[in-house]
Structure 1
Amino acid sequence: MARRTPEEAEQTRQQLLATGLKLFSEQGVEATTLKQIAQVAGVTHGALYWHFRNRADLLQQIHHAWMLPFEPVWLEQCQALQQDALAALKLYLLGVLDGFEQDAEACALYRVFYQPVVLCNDLKPLFDSLEQNRELWLDQLRRFLKQARKQKQLRKKPDPVELAFTLQQAMNGLLHEWLRTGRSFGLKARGEQLVELLFAGLPYK
């Protein structure tokens, strides 16, 4: 049997990552076996173990293989943040929702790693990283709101930290419901309604 090239090995690895993400998101982590992933990916069980030590290792590599829309949209709005923080915040929120609506892999990633209420054992090694990401996204909201207060778009109270937490929970709730119902409504369209409602309740000057 001919030895596989590094390119072929990497192609197999990427196929296993994509198949694992798909099955984990559709069936749940605990209901998905490595044998099943290998079968659906069209490789041997041994080939899977050549790339990944166990299910926890596969999950960790899946987590690092894709990016959720928070960071790229944040980078897009950093410049606008200095000019009009509230307008940039609105574009950030809608951009994140649009990113999820347009990217099936981002949705699957969020469902696997951020939607479970309780992490199964194979996800527990990622607990600190997941919490750091949530804190990073919350901090992005805080920075918008702190800058809006500096620009005198908001009153000094309530605290931007509290407002950021409220915004994050509202957006999480919409995203969770959209995924739970099988994307039964337009996420960005419903998000525009939610953002208008949330902004109407902001403590403007």
Structure 2
Amino acid sequence: MARRTKEEAEATRSRILDAAESEFQDHGVSGTSLEDIARTAGVTRGAIYWHFRDKGALFEAMMDRVVLPLETEMLRAGDPDITEPLLQVRQATMGALRAAVDDGQARRVLEIALHKVEYVDEMKGVRERRIACLVDRIQQLAAIFERAQAAGHIRLALPAVTAALGLHALLDGLLHNWMLDTQAFDLVGTGEALVDAYFRGLQATTPA
């Protein structure tokens, strides 16, 4: 009985997250109330509060379902046992772009995160946590670049942190623009060409 109750609770939680994903995509995060989500999920507002303390926590849980799996490969690049960390970073970057194209849920959640959220009111705390995650991600990526340079795999023409910021900006910019019009360009093909050019450019010498 306890197992069934736990499974039912998980099923309800997933249904709430699915409803939030749908409502956020259709109406934006600020334009969606917990009542809207409860109605779409077929639950009470109290059921939402049983699983999530507020809309911000619900939003973050929705993001985690997609973002955490996408970041797994990038984090693996920091594993000391990975002998070619730059290759791992490239594969993780391309995996994120492919997921945006091929995985409907990943695309929906990225669209919400990039174009349908305003960090005001109950979302202010989410903004602060996302900034902290970004800083952590940049530091991890910079450490990977430094390790690759120490191993002789690359000779950076700029500080590792700057290189990490540049790669993040490249990926973020590609996703932002492609989400505005998914027919505008081939995200995977264009992304692969630009990412490879970026890695080559990291080793370029600065013109005199």
TM category, shorter: 0.7 to 0.9
Equivalent residue for 1:14? 14
- Mapping for residues 18-29 of structure 1, pairs under 5 Å: 18-29=18-29
Q: C-alpha deviations, 1:106-134, integer Å up to 9, x for none?
A: 33333434556851212112233211221
- Matched residues, number: 202
Q: C-alpha deviations, 1:126-170, integer Å up to 9, x for none?
A: 233211221232123212321222133433541111111111111
Give the whole-Å Cα distance in 1 for the aligned partners of 2:23 and 2:196. Answer: 36
Give the TM-score taking structure 2 as reference length. 0.77
- Residue 189 of structure 1 pairs with residue 193 of structure 2: no
- Residue 68 of structure 1 pairs with residue 68 of structure 2: yes
- Residue 94 of structure 1 pairs with residue 126 of structure 2: no
Give the whole-Å Cα distance in 1 for the aligned partners of 2:28 and 2:117. Answer: 12
Give the whole-Å Cα distance in 2 for the aligned partners of 1:108 and 1:62. Answer: 11
Provide structure 2 residue ranges, at least 5 long, that are not aligned to the other structure: none
- 1:77, 1:91 within 8 Å by CA — same for their partners in 2? no
Q: C-alpha deviations, 1:47-101, integer Å up to 9, x for none?
A: 4455445433433443455543443112444458753343333223212322333
Relative to structure 1, the CA distance from residue 64 to residue 77 in structure 2 (aligned partners, 3 Å threshold; closer, same or farther) is closer
Relative to structure 1, the CA distance from residue 179 to residue 150 in structure 2 (aligned partners, 3 Å threshold; closer, same or farther) is same
Equivalent residue for 1:137? 137
Give the whole-Å Cα distance in 1 for the aligned partners of 2:145 and 2:152. Answer: 10
Give the whole-Å Cα distance in 2 for the aligned partners of 1:117 and 1:65. Answer: 17
- 2:28, 2:112 within 8 Å by CA — same for their partners in 1? yes
Provide structure 1 residue ranges, at least 5 long, that are not aligned to the other structure: none
Relative to structure 1, the CA distance from residue 136 to residue 69 in structure 2 (aligned partners, 3 Å threshold; closer, same or farther) is farther
Relative to structure 1, the CA distance from residue 5 to residue 152 in structure 2 (aligned partners, 3 Å threshold; closer, same or farther) is closer
- Residue 102 of structure 1, CA deviation: 3.7
Q: C-alpha deviations, 1:143-198, integer Å up to 9, x for none?
A: 23212221334335411111111111111100111222247544322211111221
Equivalent residue for 2:36? 36
Cα RMSD for the two superposed structures? 3.1
Any idea what SS the aligned residue of 1:38 has? helix
Give the whole-Å Cα distance in 1 for the aligned partners of 2:112 and 2:136. Answer: 19
- 2:56, 2:123 within 8 Å by CA — same for their partners in 1? yes
- Which deviates more, 70-79 or 10-19? 70-79
